Amino acid sequence: MYWSKLLVLALAQFVLASPHARRWDDLAVKHSWTEIPEGWVYHSAPSPSRLLDLRIGMKSHKMDDLITQLYEVSDPKHPKYGQYLSKEEVDALSAPHPDSVEAVEAWLQHHGVNPDEAIDRSGGGDWITLRIPVSVAERMLDTKYGVYHHLKSEDYIVRALSYSLPRELHSHINLVTPTTYFGTIRAMKSNSFVNPDIQVSKEAFVEDVNAPAALPPASCATTVTPACLKAFYNITGFSPVNPASQRIGIAGYLEEFGNRADLQTFLNQLLPASRGFTYTTTLINGGEDDQNDPGVEANLDIQYVVGMAAPIPVTYYSTGGRPPFIPDSTQSTNTNEPYLDWVNFVLAQSTIPTVFTTSYGENEQTIPLDYRQSVCDLFAKLTARGSTILFSSGDSGVGGGDCRTNDGRNRVQFQPAFPASCPFVTAVGGTTGLTETTIGFSGGGFSNTFARPAYQDTAVSRYLQILGNTNAGLFNTTGRAYPDLSAQANRFEVFVGGRAISVGGTSARNVQTVAGIVALINDVRISNGKGVLGFLNPLIYSDGVTGFNDIVTGSNPGCGTNGFPARAGWDPATGLGTPDFAKLRLLLG
């Protein structure tokens, strides 16, 4: 009898330990939309044999430790300040728990998918990419994929309105993609715009490296050039001493290519001392570099990063991932979001730029929560390695359109932008004018996803107290607040196809201006035997706060309101203000 009980107990333990005892059919929804996301329409069903590059993001077992260390190395008052993590250290902290790996691989094998045949694994093993047919993905995720058409951009993508995972895997998996994220980078590309009715001034301010520092001339009110920006931000006369000691990275998508001939025209016309300087291009996931097809966005980015920071090296990352749709295709086409491809590619490199600038963004609510959190975590990993990540704050003030929520309740609410709302990036708003004021479209507000980080508690609490009941109920008072700082954002002279045009938008050089200034301060620090600035936010909200020109006029209207007014100190229209290089050089160099 005793032996019988032992046998029963042993068998029970075997069954519990056996992968076959797992309830892979006990499913729970991971994410779903109540309706097709705005701007998209259903087109057709994809072929069941169409191949998807399915990417699975597992939970990093020590993500909390990584974030703790990120704040330690970014806090100027901490003993570990500036002791950034290596790739190997970030990979180790990014790794999933062995139980997560075992559970995910057992689930894949249950569906006939061999995890050993993954076409890509991240350095930490937290991301795995598998090439599988749509029919298999639908069975694994208890979903139906469709081909959806974006009416404005003409993009076609394969996505689902919901997906599920076995309950057991919800504690192991952050994200599976492509699934419910419908974002199109073409739709996100509204952060810069050509001013067709504005002619660039024939008296545009040209840089003279031998000229003494001076206030920007009147022409800078109508045509902004690198010389104007250097006058605005007190940089005139400074040249990098150690340019080869760092690198600036620019993220590019949508077959947007910088044109080297246009860059030389720009330099010849506006920065003659930098003639001949060029940049390198890194191709990611089928990215291209077509010199016969210059893009406004790419030329904007490159010309003003170079204009602010030459001769510090610049790398333009051209990321593919928006293939033409072929209805009967059974061949593999990349269906992943190129945004995610870019971040994972950079993290896989042994050396990375010290400063990154990206001009894209979209409303938080249009991005699934699991996607927002996963991408924000990737930015934490990137900043932990000592990089500064800059994003534009958007061009819709506190929100564009009717500002209705898409959660089924249809409430009017301010619409924060992502990735600007991620607490591990530095968001840059916009100003305008010789005496700088908030430009009306400057994005700013409070995240509905991410809690307010401690580094901005004092500054934001002070603003909210002054704001009182203004806009009450329209925003999340406890959310991560942005922008963090600002710069000029309109009437920039840019060369495209050999012709000078005027461009505006918060991606129109406010981000690139700040990227250049950060790189210049890095150069000063390197000359003084110090490390690069890395994650800026804990520093600028403490030691660096007096290095900015406080913007106290204007607001960022939207959602049928006047938005947030600029005030003394930090505000959600212009952040801490615009940079003063001479002051920052003394404070931080």
Sequence length of the chain is: 589
Alpha carbons 571 and 566: distance in angstroms, whole number: 6
Mark whether 117 is an active-site residue. no
HEC states along 366-426? HCCHHHHHHHHHHHHHHHHCCCEEEEECCCCCCCCCCCECCCCCCCECCCCEECCCCCCCE
Q: Which of 53, 126, 262, 301 does the annotation list as catalytic?
A: 301
259 CB-near residues (< 8 Å, 6+ apart): 291, 294, 295, 298, 299, 496, 497
Asked if residues 355 and 388 have their Cβ atoms less than 8 Å apart, the reply is yes
Asked if residues 32 and 143 have their Cβ atoms less than 8 Å apart, the reply is no
Mark whether 507 is an active-site residue. yes
Alpha carbons 400 and 412: distance in angstroms, whole number: 11
End-to-end CA distance of the chain: 80
Q: Which of 484, 507, 523, 555 does the annotation list as catalytic?
A: 507
Alpha carbons 133 and 50: distance in angstroms, whole number: 5
- Domains within the chain, CATH numbers bracketed: 20-188 (no CATH), 226-323+340-588 (3.40.50.200)
Q: Give the pTM.
A: 0.91
Alpha carbons 165 and 162: distance in angstroms, whole number: 11
> Consecutive sets of 10 residues in the chain, 589 residues long: mean pLDDT of each?
40 43 92 92 94 95 97 96 98 97 97 95 95 97 94 86 98 96 62 51 62 80 92 93 96 82 95 94 87 83 95 93 47 60 93 92 91 96 98 91 89 95 97 95 96 97 97 97 96 90 64 96 97 97 92 97 97 98 94
Place of tokens 């032996």: 3
Alpha carbons 469 and 83: distance in angstroms, whole number: 43
* Cβ burial 137-156 (10 Å sphere, 16+ → b, else e): bbebbbbebbbbbbeebebb
So what's the pLDDT on residue 509?
58
149 CB-near residues (< 8 Å, 6+ apart): 40, 41, 42, 43, 155, 156
Neighbours of 568 (CB within 10 A): 12
Rounded to 5°, the CA angle 476-480-486 comes to 115
Q: How many CA atoms lie within 13 A of 178 on its CB side?
A: 29
Alpha carbons 537 and 120: distance in angstroms, whole number: 33
Q: How buried is 464 (Cβ within 10 angstroms: 0-12 exposed, 13-18 middle, 19+ buried)?
A: middle
Residue 113 to residues 29, 106, 107, 137, Cα–Cα distance (Å)? 21, 9, 9, 10
- Annotated binding site for Ca(2+), which residues? 550-551, 569, 571
Place of tokens 């860059």: 263
Residue 452 structure tokens: 């307010």
453 CB-near residues (< 8 Å, 6+ apart): 423, 480, 537
Asked if residues 415 and 398 have their Cβ atoms less than 8 Å apart, the reply is yes
- Phi, psi dihedral angles at 586 (to 5 degrees): -75, -40
Q: How buried is 25 (Cβ within 10 angstroms: 0-12 exposed, 13-18 middle, 19+ buried)?
A: exposed
Q: How buried is 360 (Cβ within 10 angstroms: 0-12 exposed, 13-18 middle, 19+ buried)?
A: buried
- Annotated binding site, which residues? 550-551, 569, 571
So what's the pLDDT on residue 89?
98
For 52, the enclosing helix (H) or strand (E) is: strand 51-58
Alpha carbons 545 and 550: distance in angstroms, whole number: 10
Q: How many CA atoms lie within 13 A of 57 on its CB side?
A: 22
Residue 95 to residues 89, 125, 126, 288, Cα–Cα distance (Å)? 10, 5, 5, 32
Q: Which of 91, 256, 289, 297 does the annotation list as catalytic?
A: 297
Neighbours of 12 (CB within 10 A): 11
Alpha carbons 431 and 558: distance in angstroms, whole number: 16
Mark whether 297 is an active-site residue. yes
Residue 193 structure tokens: 């715009």
So what's the pLDDT on residue 303?
95
213 CB-near residues (< 8 Å, 6+ apart): 231, 234, 236, 237
Strand-pair partners of 56:
128, 176
